[in-house]
């Protein structure tokens, strides 16, 4: 399968010079016949180049050249082809959707009858859980960390920031029932914007808790995470609190990009707010990363700089509120990817690498024909790709960032890392081994877990607690 160079040097080209196959040939701009006769690897490389050149034209507003590029790509891409053909089909759709947004009336008319089904959203998440081990490993590590942190506690309250999969908490109930000192009183607060999802979650968890004779309470909160009022969580004195976030926290990075650029030069002042009333001194951070702070100030729009970590008011406020709740443990699972760049080309190159690996690992689990594979790629991966490529501002929710940025952000917010136990690592390795998940592995990075496909990092799991001296 073709791959993209991380820096894009081998596949990018000037926006003023297109590849030979991008040039208009006689007969309605159709590509040369030899393109259709390319082998799989050659076709993959050709598609990467075409996609990146097309992205340049879309980004610079050269709609005629972009349209020609999309036409040529359509002769090679296919949602039922090999890995690169399928990826290209969804990136093409995303680039086309971005172009159409230049004509809001046309874009709205073409999308006005599209309905999102809650049952389909739940189904595709379950399919991803079933066919790929990423969520299984994340749930296992999260639950083991919670069990260890809550040893001896009588009342345990878990806040699930994206409550969609009952399997995680059914497993936790079974683990808690085996505690030598007996199970605690367990309360789970589940957050999801669809009431039906939470109702199904409650039914399954209450049934399992009754079967295991565990005192249990499920507290459903129907809302989007960005609109969550932490007062509604019902955290009470005496409860040992844990927070679980599975592939959701990045959505709080969505903000107005124009405001971000305008305010970023004064982001250093926000560091004072971040450390206000914290036990960890600001000086400690400055001493640790003073050089990076200085370099970042020279390029205030850089999303890789510590300064940019303070640029999302929603994230800053949310983490500050969580810190005030004094959680005993917070476990965060996120995509190990960098899809939050300002420029379209930056996001296209990084997303091509990330989703090439995801499509490839899915191919190893499901053959090309089954409907299940198509549903995961279209309804999960395809929608993420579209959001990353076609959307901007507050509409762009899939702002995946790498572990190093989450570490900096959470440390700025007053949290300290909690290393995972040897037993957690042992369980994760055993799960991958006994489930016959060939090609998958994990590694430790800065005390956190990174789950990989063929040595390519795809998801990270990190544990945190409120910082204390």
pLDDT in tens, 432-457: 888 777 889 999 998 999 999 999 99
Question: Is residue 275 pLDDT above 50, yes or no?
Answer: no
Residue 210 burial by Cβ neighbours in a 10 Å radius (0-12, 13-18, 19+): exposed
Q: How far apart are CA 34 and CA 275, in angstroms?
A: 61
* Coil vs helix vs strand at 25: coil
Please tell me the least confidently modeled range out of 149-163, 268-282, 339-353, 397-411.
Answer: 268-282
pLDDT at 309 (0 to 100): 55
Average pLDDT over every residue of 5-23? 45
Cα 63 to Cα 55, 317, 414: the distances in Å are 10, 40, 47
Angular region, 234: left φ>0, alpha ψ -120 to 50, beta rest: left
Please tell me the least confidently modeled range out of 11-15, 254-258, 276-280, 439-443.
Answer: 11-15
**Contact present, 451 and 460 (Cβ < 8 Å):** yes
CA dihedral 67, 69, 75, 80 (to 10 degrees): -90
Question: Is residue 34 pLDDT above 70, yes or no?
Answer: no
pLDDT at 30 (0 to 100): 54
pLDDT at 436 (0 to 100): 73
pLDDT at 205 (0 to 100): 98
HSE-CB at 370 with a 13 A cutoff on CA atoms is: 12
Q: What are the backbone dihedrals phi and psi of residue 204, each rounded to the nearest 5 degrees, phi first?
A: -70, -40
Share of the chain above pLDDT 70, in %: 78
pLDDT at 411 (0 to 100): 95
Model pTM?
A: 0.84
* pLDDT tens per residue across span 165-178: 999 999 999 999 99
Average pLDDT over every residue of 55-77? 94
Question: Is residue 11 pLDDT above 80, yes or no?
Answer: no
* Coil vs helix vs strand at 136: helix
Q: What is residue 436's DSSP assignment?
A: T
Radius of gyration of the chain (CA): 23
Question: Is residue 356 pLDDT above 80, yes or no?
Answer: yes
Q: How far apart are CA 266 and CA 257, in angstroms?
A: 15
Average pLDDT over every residue of 355-372? 85
Structure tokens at 316: 């800053």
HSE-CB at 336 with a 13 A cutoff on CA atoms is: 23
**Could you report how far apart the first and last alpha carbons of the chain are, in Å?**
50
Please tell me the least confidently modeled range out of 334-338, 340-344, 356-360, 435-439.
Answer: 435-439
Average pLDDT over every residue of 139-147? 97
Q: H or E element: which one contains 105? A: helix 104-111
Q: How far apart are CA 116 and CA 128, in angstroms?
A: 18
406 pLDDT tier (thresholds 50, 70, 90): very high
Q: What is residue 161's DSSP assignment?
A: S
304 pLDDT tier (thresholds 50, 70, 90): very low
- The residue ranking higher by pLDDT, 383 or 13, is 383
Q: What value does the mean pLDDT of the chain take? A: 84
38 pLDDT tier (thresholds 50, 70, 90): confident
pLDDT at 305 (0 to 100): 47
Q: H or E element: which one contains 449? A: strand 448-453
CATH superfamily of 118-255+311-336+400-466: Vaccinia Virus protein VP39 (3.40.50.150)
User: Which one of 31-35, 249-253, 272-276, 300-304 scores highest in mean pLDDT?
Assistant: 249-253
300 pLDDT tier (thresholds 50, 70, 90): very low
pLDDT at 133 (0 to 100): 93
Average pLDDT over every residue of 90-101? 96
pLDDT at 122 (0 to 100): 86
Question: Is residue 140 pLDDT above 70, yes or no?
Answer: yes
Q: How far apart are CA 270 and CA 454, in angstroms?
A: 40
294 pLDDT tier (thresholds 50, 70, 90): very low
pLDDT at 286 (0 to 100): 44
Tokens 């749930």, residue located: 139
Question: Is residue 348 pLDDT above 90, yes or no?
Answer: yes
Contacts of 100 (CB under 8 A, 6+ apart): 106, 107, 110
Domain boundaries defined on the chain: 37-105, 118-255+311-336+400-466
User: Which one of 11-20, 183-192, 289-298 scores highest in mean pLDDT?
Assistant: 183-192
- The residue ranking higher by pLDDT, 396 or 5, is 396
């Amino acid at each position: 399968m073709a791959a993209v160079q991380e820096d894009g040097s081998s596949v990018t080209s000037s926006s003023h010079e297109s590849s030979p196959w991008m040039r208009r040939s006689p007969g309605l701009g159709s590509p040369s016949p030899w393109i259709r006769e390319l082998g799989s690897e050659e076709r993959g490389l050709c598609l990467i180049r075409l996609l990146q050149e097309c992205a340049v034209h879309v980004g610079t507003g050269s709609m005629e050249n972009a349209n020609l590029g999309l036409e040529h790509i359509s002769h090679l891409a296919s949602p039922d082809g090999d890995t690169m053909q399928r990826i290209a089909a969804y990136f093409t759709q995303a680039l086309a959707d971005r172009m159409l947004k230049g004509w809001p009336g046309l874009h709205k008319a073409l999308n006005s009858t599209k309905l999102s089904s809650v049952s389909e959203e739940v189904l595709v998440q379950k399919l991803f859980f079933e066919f790929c081990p990423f969520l299984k490993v994340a749930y296992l590590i999260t639950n083991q960390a919670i069990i260890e942190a809550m040893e001896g506690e009588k009342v345990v309250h878990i806040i699930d920031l994206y409550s969609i999969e009952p399997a995680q908490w059914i497993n936790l109930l079974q683990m808690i029932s085996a505690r030598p000192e007996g199970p605690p009183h367990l309360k789970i607060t589940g957050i999801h914007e669809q009431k039906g999802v939470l109702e199904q979650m409650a039914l399954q968890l209450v049934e399992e808790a009754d079967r295991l004779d565990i005192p249990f309470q499920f507290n459903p909160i129907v809302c989007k995470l960005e609109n969550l009022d932490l007062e509604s969580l019902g955290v009470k004195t005496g409860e040992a609190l844990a927070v679980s976030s599975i592939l959701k926290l990045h959505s709080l990075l969505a903000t107005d990009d124009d405001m971000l650029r305008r305010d970023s030069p004064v982001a250093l002042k926000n560091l004072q707010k971040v450390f206000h009333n914290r036990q960890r001194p600001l000086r400690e951070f400055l001493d640790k990363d003073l050089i990076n702070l200085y370099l970042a100030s020279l390029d205030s729009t850089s999303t890789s700089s510590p300064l940019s970590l303070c640029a999302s008011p929603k994230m800053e406020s949310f983490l500050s509120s969580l810190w005030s709740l004094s959680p005993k443990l917070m476990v965060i699972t996120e995509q190990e990817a960098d899809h939050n760049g300002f420029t379209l080309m930056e996001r296209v190159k990084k997303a091509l690498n990330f989703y090439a690996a995801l499509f490839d690992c899915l191919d190893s689990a499901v053959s090309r024909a089954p409907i299940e594979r198509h549903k995961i790629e279209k309804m999960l991966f395809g929608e993420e790709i579209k959001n990353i490529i076609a959307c901007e501002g507050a509409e762009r929710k899939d702002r995946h960032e790498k572990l190093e940025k989450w570490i900096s952000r959470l440390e700025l917010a007053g949290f300290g890392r909690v290393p995972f136990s040897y037993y957690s690592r042992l369980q994760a390795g055993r799960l991958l081994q006994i489930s016959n998940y060939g090609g998958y592995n994990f590694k430790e990075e800065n005390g956190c877990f990174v789950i990989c496909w063929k040595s390519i990092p795809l998801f990270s799991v990190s544990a945190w607690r409120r910082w204390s001296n």
